[in-house]
């Protein structure tokens, strides 16, 4: 892929923005201090592939802002005789990939592995599965995506293109949500769900083709899929060591396609080339390379702008750039990439304030957001049509970066920042997860730009200089080298992989490997010889981190499964139950106090959940929301937790567990179950009032937000550590030392 060289072109015309900004900024105390000039943007002289643009594509007359692809809409447009269906077929023919259909199909039929490098918007993700479907692959085709919003929206779009309701011919499968039927042939699923499927079907026998899309993201699950596919190919297509599997599987070879717009194609090709030297082979096996095919061109060009100077405050820069676009540029929605939820919420409230004060004649602004912890129903709002007299502004994290098309988006504002999860395996015994705000990579920048220009000429405004772009790392460090490996290793054990021999594309960090194996051993998921135990197999059945799955399984022994299910659902929710409210912390603390339980945070959380369940029984949607608002509690977290609890109940039922076992208000059974999962998160009181980890070197303090009454309890269990000025334990409950003594793996520890 070519880098975009910079040139100096006139900046965006600033005059009208200046006028508008003066007007709106004057009302905001935080922006009143000084007048800043409009951001000066330099346009790149090579908009993304304008020369290779294929013209002739028209924006749909009837569906100018139609949210093609949202689940609600698909059912109404799946009429194959309808005009809309015909228009979609015309659109399909215009996509650059259509010209290469024959050669793609030929390459896939001749090779076990094909690597496709195609520009953003060339049609890879939506079209290739349909070509395969129409080209005689009779069983299922899996298309993996790193993110759930991409999997669900793509399935809906492709269903519409096939003229079928979603969940029939084309479906999706993501954690806690599935929409497939007996006739489903194309399944869009997250890479994590494919790993889950391998736990029941290690050779993926139900699939003819597995397409690994957006492989450049190198998520942990993508890397596991890639390594597993290598093994599966040897067994299904070659002559692996497992002769039984070979007999059954050879008649049904598997085709693998790896796709991305910004891939280090050579690295992937080499990875698969070494496939047959890695596995034992017979003479009849012809070494098979992985050809790289390039899909040239995109439908519409994207003009790229960089700021002329670096911006210290990307939120302020995004705000000004948005209004600059809004006032100066023709219609089209705006997609702003920001690192995280906090930034999105901050910018959204500023945008709303300023949007209310726009001069007459300037279109309205509608804001909506898109981030991982937003419930599905909220996420799909971004696909809704924008009224003709308004401009939509979507504030998103990098979950909107790859694969998705948001109809109507013509402008992208890229902050150049992202949140990156890192596991610091060397810290605090069991390791420690942290979220850092970091600069994005070149590959991300190109993907972000690619979200514009899906339906028409697009524009991408980067809030960083061209030099900063050039200095960016080409691609992201693989997640396997910076994430906790505990859950992934448990899944690999269940699939039957030998961890030491697993052909990862990049070797994981040895410290993280050690830390993951230690955690699995402590949980009794693996034995002293590292073999998977029955308990470990049961843990893997839950879509939870193994620690919380262990708590849930232990709750049967302590007769508190109903409470444990609610607690782990809350702990697994992606939003915190008690959001930080620095501006009115005292009010928040006071209103939450009525749920306080003397034993600490876990029972306090449970009290909230119980009270919310009662509210749900008597109140409608708005009553529930009001109740949460009054008590300064996150409605989102509770709603998500209720959904997770329902899923867990289903799994418990399938496993023959009695989920109705309740301990009432007796606190010990739940705390003992919790301890079973969080053995590595136990600390003992020291004479100076701090706590020393039982299984790690760190001295920790109880986080100030904790509801624990006795801050000098002899022993505590906690959910996580946070690092600020000190190391704090967050989500804390007091436990008896006698509980800790119940665990033989902790007996080396002096408890008195």
Residue 157 is a binding residue for ligand ATP (CB under 6 A): yes
Distance of closest approach, residue 213 Cβ to ligand ATP, in angstroms: 7
* Residue of 402, 268, 300, 287 lying closest to 55 (CA atoms): 300
Distance of closest approach, residue 215 Cβ to ligand ATP, in angstroms: 11
Q: Which helix H or strand E contains 599, and what residues bound it?
A: none
Distance of closest approach, residue 129 Cβ to ligand ATP, in angstroms: 9
DSSP state of 680: G
Pick 417 or 454: Cβ nearer ligand ATP: 454
Pick 127 or 484: Cβ nearer ligand ATP: 127
Residue 403 is a binding residue for ligand ATP (CB under 6 A): yes
693: three-class secondary structure by DSSP: strand
Q: Give φ, ψ of 340 to 5 degrees.
A: -150, 180
Distance of closest approach, residue 49 Cβ to ligand ATP, in angstroms: 12
Q: Which helix H or strand E contains 674, and what residues bound it?
A: helix 667-677
Residue 392 is a binding residue for ligand ATP (CB under 6 A): no
Answer for which of 71, 107, 126, 631 binds ligand ATP (CB under 6 A) is: 126
Distance of closest approach, residue 158 Cβ to ligand ATP, in angstroms: 8
Residue 384 is a binding residue for ligand ATP (CB under 6 A): no
Pick 123 or 167: Cβ nearer ligand ATP: 123
Residue 53 is a binding residue for ligand ATP (CB under 6 A): no
CB contact at 8 A, 325 and 16:
no
Answer for which of 6, 47, 69, 202 binds ligand ATP (CB under 6 A) is: 69
117 phi-psi bin (left φ>0, alpha ψ -120 to 50, beta other): beta
Residue 450 is a binding residue for ligand ATP (CB under 6 A): yes
CA dist list (Å): 521 to 195, 489, 698: 22, 12, 21
Interface segment toward ligand ATP; rule CB under 6 A; list 71-79, 125-133, 612-620, 711-719:
125-133
**CB atoms near residue 600 (< 10 Å):** 26
The neighbouring-strand residues paired with 702 are 729
Distance of closest approach, residue 658 Cβ to ligand ATP, in angstroms: 44
Q: Work out the end-to-end distance of the chain between its first and last CA atoms, rounded to an integer number of angstroms.
A: 63
The neighbouring-strand residues paired with 370 are 396
Q: How remote is the C-alpha of 72 from its chain's centroid?
A: 22
Residue 405 is a binding residue for ligand ATP (CB under 6 A): yes
Pick 385 or 503: Cβ nearer ligand ATP: 385
Which is it for the CA torsion 29, 35, 37, 38, positive or negative? positive
Which is it for the CA torsion 181, 186, 188, 194, positive or negative? positive
Residue 124 is a binding residue for ligand ATP (CB under 6 A): yes
Name residues contacting ligand ATP, limited to 298-317 (CB under 6 A).
299
Distance of closest approach, residue 461 Cβ to ligand ATP, in angstroms: 18
Instruction: Please spell the DSSP secondary structure of 127-161, one letter per residue.
Output: HHHHHHHHTT--SEEEEEESSHHHHHHHHHHHHHH
Distance of closest approach, residue 333 Cβ to ligand ATP, in angstroms: 12
CB contact at 8 A, 362 and 20:
yes
458: three-class secondary structure by DSSP: strand
**CB atoms near residue 2 (< 10 Å):** 8
Residue 410 is a binding residue for ligand ATP (CB under 6 A): no
Q: What number of chain residues touch ligand ATP (CB under 6 A)?
A: 23
CA dist list (Å): 643 to 607, 615, 621: 18, 16, 15
Residue 123 is a binding residue for ligand ATP (CB under 6 A): yes
* Residue of 564, 341, 311 lying closest to 439 (CA atoms): 311
Residue 408 is a binding residue for ligand ATP (CB under 6 A): no
Distance of closest approach, residue 403 Cβ to ligand ATP, in angstroms: 4
Residue 162 is a binding residue for ligand ATP (CB under 6 A): no
Interface segment toward ligand ATP; rule CB under 6 A; list 101-109, 330-338, 447-455, 740-748:
447-455
Interface segment toward ligand ATP; rule CB under 6 A; list 123-131, 342-350, 458-466, 690-698:
123-131
Pick 133 or 571: Cβ nearer ligand ATP: 133
Distance of closest approach, residue 454 Cβ to ligand ATP, in angstroms: 4
* Residue of 655, 675, 663 lying closest to 558 (CA atoms): 663
Pick 58 or 421: Cβ nearer ligand ATP: 58
Return d(Cα 525, Cα 516) in angstroms, integer.
11
DSSP state of 583: G
* Residue of 154, 199, 192, 147 lying closest to 172 (CA atoms): 154
Distance of closest approach, residue 395 Cβ to ligand ATP, in angstroms: 19
Name residues contacting ligand ATP, limited to 227-286 (CB under 6 A).
261
Residue 380 is a binding residue for ligand ATP (CB under 6 A): no
Answer for which of 47, 192, 407, 696 binds ligand ATP (CB under 6 A) is: 407
46: three-class secondary structure by DSSP: coil
569: three-class secondary structure by DSSP: helix
* Residue of 335, 473, 469 lying closest to 404 (CA atoms): 335
Query: Going by DSSP bridges, is the β-strand pair 432-439/458-462 parallel, antiparallel, or unpaired?
Result: unpaired
Which of 679-702 are b and which e, b meaning 16 or more Cβ less than 10 Å from the residue's Cβ? bbbbbbbeeeeebebbbbebebbb
Residue nearest to ligand ATP (CB): 69
Distance of closest approach, residue 739 Cβ to ligand ATP, in angstroms: 51
Interface segment toward ligand ATP; rule CB under 6 A; list 13-21, 118-126, 243-251, 698-706:
118-126
Distance of closest approach, residue 120 Cβ to ligand ATP, in angstroms: 3
Return d(Cα 80, Cα 675) in angstroms, integer.
57
Distance of closest approach, residue 269 Cβ to ligand ATP, in angstroms: 19
Interface segment toward ligand ATP; rule CB under 6 A; list 74-82, 165-173, 232-240, 400-408:
400-408
Binding residues (CB under 6 A) for ligand ATP: these are 68-69, 95, 118, 120-127, 153, 157, 261, 299, 402-403, 405, 407, 450, 454-455
């Amino acid at each position: 892929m070519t880098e975009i060289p910079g040139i100096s072109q006139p900046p965006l015309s600033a005059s009208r923005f200046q006028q508008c900004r003066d007007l709106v900024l004057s009302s905001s105390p935080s922006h009143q201090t000084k007048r800043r000039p409009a951001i000066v943007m330099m346009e790149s002289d090579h908009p993304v592939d304008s020369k290779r643009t294929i013209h002739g594509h028209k924006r749909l007359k009837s569906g100018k802002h139609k949210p093609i692809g949202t689940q609600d809409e698909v059912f109404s447009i799946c009429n194959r005789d309808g005009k809309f269906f015909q228009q979609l077929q015309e659109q399909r023919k215009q996509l650059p990939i259509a010209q290469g259909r024959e050669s793609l199909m030929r390459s896939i039929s001749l090779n076990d592995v094909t690597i496709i490098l195609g520009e953003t918007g060339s049609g890879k993700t939506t079209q290739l599965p349909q070509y395969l479907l129409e080209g005689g692959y009779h069983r299922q085709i899996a298309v993996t995506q790193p993110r759930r919003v991409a999997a669900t929206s793509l399935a809906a779009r492709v269903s519409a293109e096939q003229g079928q309701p979603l969940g029939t011919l084309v479906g999706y499968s993501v954690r806690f949500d599935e929409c497939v039927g007996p006739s489903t042939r194309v399944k869009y699923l997250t890479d994590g769900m494919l790993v889950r499927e391998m736990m029941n079907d290690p050779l993926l026998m139900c699939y003819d083709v597995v397409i690994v899309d957006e492989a450049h993201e190198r998520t942990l699950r993508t890397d596991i899929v890639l390594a597993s596919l290598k093994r599966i190919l040897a067994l299904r297509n070659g002559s692996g060591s497992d002769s039984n599997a070979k007999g059954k599987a050879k008649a049904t070879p598997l085709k693998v396609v790896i796709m991305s717009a910004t891939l280090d194609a050579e690295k992937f090709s080499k990875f698969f080339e070494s496939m047959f030297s890695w596995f034992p082979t017979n003479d009849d096996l012809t070494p098979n390379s992985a050809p790289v095919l390039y899909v040239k061109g995109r439908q519409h060009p994207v003009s790229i702008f960089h700021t002329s100077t670096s911006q210290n405050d990307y939120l302020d820069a995004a705000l000004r750039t948005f209004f600059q676009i809004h006032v100066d540029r023709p219609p089209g929605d705006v997609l702003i990439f920001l690192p995280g939820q906090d930034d999105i919420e901050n910018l959204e409230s500023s945008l709303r304030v300023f949007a209310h004060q726009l001069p007459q004649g300037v279109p309205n602004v509608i804001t909506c957001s898109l981030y991982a912890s937003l419930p599905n129903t909220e996420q799909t709002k971004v696909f809704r049509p924008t009224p003709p007299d308004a401009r939509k502004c979507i504030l998103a994290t990098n979950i909107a970066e790859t694969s998705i098309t948001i109809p109507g988006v013509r402008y992208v504002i890229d902050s150049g920042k992202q949140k990156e999860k890192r596991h610091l395996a060397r810290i605090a015994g069991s390791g420690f997860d942290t979220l850092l705000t970091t600069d994005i990579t070149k590959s991300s920048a190109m993907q972000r730009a690619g979200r514009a220009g899906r339906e028409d000429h697009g524009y991408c405004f980067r809030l960083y200089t061209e030099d900063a772009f050039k200095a960016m790392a080409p691609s992201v460090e693989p997640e396997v080298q910076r994430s906790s490996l505990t859950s992934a290793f448990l899944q690999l054990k269940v699939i039957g992989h030998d961890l030491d021999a697993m052909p990862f594309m990049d070797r994981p960090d040895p410290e993280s490997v050690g830390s993951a194996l230690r955690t699995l051993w402590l949980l009794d998921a693996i034995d002293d010889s590292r073999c998977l135990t029955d308990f470990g197999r049961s843990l893997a059945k839950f879509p939870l981190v193994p620690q919380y799955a262990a708590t849930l399984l232990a709750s049967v022994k302590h007769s508190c499964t109903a409470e444990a299910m609610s607690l782990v659902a809350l702990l697994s929710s992606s939003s915190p139950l008690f959001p930080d409210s620095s501006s009115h912390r005292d009010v928040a603390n006071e209103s939450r106090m009525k749920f306080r339980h003397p034993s600490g945070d876990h029972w306090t959380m449970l009290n909230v959940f119980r009270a919310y369940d009662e509210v749900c029984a008597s109140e409608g949607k708005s009553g529930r929301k009001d109740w949460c608002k009054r008590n300064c509690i996150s409605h989102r977290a509770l709603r998500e937790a209720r959904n997770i609890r329902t899923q867990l109940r289903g799994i418990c039922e399938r496993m023959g567990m009695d989920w109705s076992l309740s301990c009432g208000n007796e606190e010990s059974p739940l705390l003992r179950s919790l301890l079973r999962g969080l053995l590595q998160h136990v600390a003992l009181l020291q004479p100076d009032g701090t706590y020393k980890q039982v299984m790690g070197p760190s001295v920790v303090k109880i986080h100030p937000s904790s509801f624990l009454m006795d801050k000098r309890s002899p022993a505590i269990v906690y959910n996580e550590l946070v690092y600020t000025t000190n190391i704090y334990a967050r989500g804390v409950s007091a436990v008896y030392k006698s509980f800790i003594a119940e665990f033989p793996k902790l007996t080396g520890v002096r408890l008195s």
